[in-house]
Structure 1
Amino acid sequence: MSAPLDCVVVRGLRLWAHVGVLEHERQMGQWFELDFSLGCNLSAAAAEDGLEQSLDYSQAIQALQLEAPRVRCLTLEHWSDKIFEVLEDLYGSVPIWLELRKCQAPVPGFCGIVAVQRSRRWPS
């Protein structure tokens, strides 16, 4: 039996990007919201109270905030791949889970939220 997976979790990161199937979505841009979890062993960080034994979430937040305004694509699926790349550049091949939400989908009569949930190396 494997040990439980510790995680660094970020919820509710608001990002402005130019993503959508409709031309005006890519031209004007819109708000999205991202939750992600980074799997890691946090035992040493907990015991030693040291950031160097953990994953510094501020680096991910800053990198994603910098990258998001440059994004221009049709789908959440494609953008989520770019998010994986940013996180993997920072932390290597750690398990990653994410949910990327479009805050205002342009569907008549619909005022909810649409999202994709994806993972890489996340235990099942």
Structure 2
Amino acid sequence: MDCIHLNGIRSYGYTGFLPEEQVLGQWFEVDLVLWVNLAAAGRSDRIEDTVDYRQTIEQVKQLIHQSKYALIERLATAIAEQLLHHSSLEKVSVKLTKVAAPIPDFSGRITIEITRNRS
């Protein structure tokens, strides 16, 4: 199966377990793998035969910005579910990173990755 990789989608959002995360917000970064048959687009050279990355990126950014979940696991699942509404997608992998989690004495990043199928 063919796939499209979209990396480094950044958006400011309000998902987090701590109350201040849902008020003050923070930056999130998303990497996607979209499994889709690209044979038709490869022959036709038409955007209608593939996934329009511009729309996909905008959907992800809006979902991050508008959501107020407690867990990033829920946000990643919401992103996957939204993207699977696209009729040509068979499977999607969402890698969601909290760029600066508010954890004392921790300057790293927290990343989760989920993969969901159309079924």
TM-score, L = length of structure 2:
0.89
Paired residue for 1:25?
21
> Aligned runs of 1:48-59 on 2, under 5 Å?
48-59=44-55
Alpha-carbon distance between aligned partners in 2 of 1:105 and 1:66, rounded to the nearest angstrom: 20
Cα-to-partner distance string for 1:3-38 (whole Å, 9 max, x where unaligned): xx2111110000111111111111111100000111
Instruction: Please tell me whether residue 109 in structure 1 is matched to residue 102 in structure 2.
Output: no
- Amino acid across the alignment from 2:32: F
Aligned to 1:70: 66
Aligned to 2:101, what secondary structure does the other structure show? Answer: coil
Pick aligned residue for 2:9 from 10, 13, 16? 13
CA RMSD, Structure 1 to Structure 2 (Å): 1.7
Secondary structure in 2 matching 1:80:
helix
How far apart are 1:92 and its partner, in Å? 5.9
State how many pairs are aligned: 118
Q: 42, 56, 59: which one pairs with 1:46?
A: 42
Unmatched 5+ stretches in structure 1? none
Match of 1:120 in 2: 116
Shift of 1:72: 0.5
Does the aligned pair in 2 maintain the 1:10–1:36 contact within 8 Å? yes
Question: Per-residue displacement from partner, 1:22-71 (whole Å, max 9, x unpaired)?
Answer: 11111111100000111011122112212121111111111222222211
Rounded Cα–Cα distance in structure 1 between residues aligned with 2:99 and 2:67: 16
Q: State the SS of the aligned residue for 1:82.
A: helix
Match of 1:79? 75
Mean Cα displacement is larger for which, 84-93 or 13-22? 84-93
**Same amino acid, percent of matched pairs:** 31
How far apart in 2 are the matches of 1:10 and 1:24?
30
